[in-house]
Amino acid sequence: MNSRSTEEQELTGEDLRVYYQVLLASFGERGWWPADGWFETIVGTVLAQNVSWSGASQAVRSLKDAGFLDPAHILQNSPKTIAPLIRSSRYYNQKAERLQEFVRFFFEQYNGDSTLMNKEDTSTLRGFLLELKGFGPETVDSILLYACEKPVFVVDAYTRRIGSRIGWFDADISYQQMQDFFTIRLESDTKLFNDFHAQLVFLGNTICKTRPLCSSCPLRKMESKLSCRYVKPVDQKEQKSRSKIRISHGS
């Protein structure tokens, strides 16, 4: 049971920055998104849907080797030509259609000019992208943050798992509520949002897994207000009896 009071649980932006600094000090800057340029980033966000990053990055490499990391080239070719190149990303027929859907929009709306697209008002661009078939909030927000460098906080399944375990929010919170949790507390800061999300993905991927490796977690030993609810604090009585056992073993 959680013993922290409601008042104690009310986290501030400063508190969130403390979590971020602890992650940064442990893992170093993550350098996201791992791509050469904005279009490769967008291709990566689409191909990474519902698949491991290794499957997605293999598909990105394959497109690159075939000279397809170019919006005009994708536009000029049919999804049937693109799909075999991205097999490792699973659902490759759908994803080939999604890439085409994006480039068609990009040429129709912005004449194939990424500078024009990046100048677009963030919520207008977000609205346009969400209308594209197969582009959900996580994909769209990743495009806005990592390709267009807009200050949009991306949340995902890792954020949900880590945040609900620490006690930031409940596990059944909506995408929008989870995103609001960060954006109402933190000032708009593209650099911070970029690396904070990347740190949470790294933590969720390597330590806070389905079966968490809490003993290796940098967030395990936070001051009490920020401590992780999932890690049961050692009861003082239990601690005393443990030391007695140690003493009696030693004597």
Of 22, 48, 143, 228, which one interacts with ligand SF4 (CB under 6 A)? 228
**160 with 173: CB under 8 angstroms?**
yes
Indicate the residue among 137 and 212 with the shorter CB distance to ligand SF4. Answer: 212
* Residue for token pair 């000090």: 25
Indicate the residue among 112 and 218 with the shorter CB distance to ligand SF4. Answer: 218
- Residue 92 CA, chain-centre distance (Å), reads 22
Indicate the residue among 48 and 207 with the shorter CB distance to ligand SF4. Answer: 207
x-or-dash string of contact with ligand SF4, 123-162, rule CB under 6 A: ---------------------------------------x
**133 with 101: CB under 8 angstroms?**
yes
226 binds ligand SF4 (CB under 6 A): no
Residue 142 corresponds to which tokens in the numbers above? 């990743």
Residue 170 corresponds to which tokens in the numbers above? 């409940």
Q: Restricting to residues 190-219, name those near ligand SF4 by CB under 6 A.
A: 207-208, 212, 214, 217, 219
165 binds ligand SF4 (CB under 6 A): yes
Q: How many residues are given for the chain?
A: 251
18 binds ligand SF4 (CB under 6 A): no
**Cβ at position 113, least distance to ligand SF4 in Å:** 42
Contacts of 228 (CB under 8 A, 6+ apart): 165, 166, 167, 214, 217, 219, 220, 222
- Residue 216 CA, chain-centre distance (Å), reads 21
**167 with 136: CB under 8 angstroms?**
no
Query: How many angstroms separate the CA atoms of 243 and 251, rounded?
Result: 12
Indicate the residue among 50 and 216 with the shorter CB distance to ligand SF4. Answer: 216
Of 85, 99, 166, 198, which one interacts with ligand SF4 (CB under 6 A)? 166
Contact positions vs ligand SF4 (CB under 6 A): 162, 165-166, 207-208, 212, 214, 217, 219-220, 228, 230-231
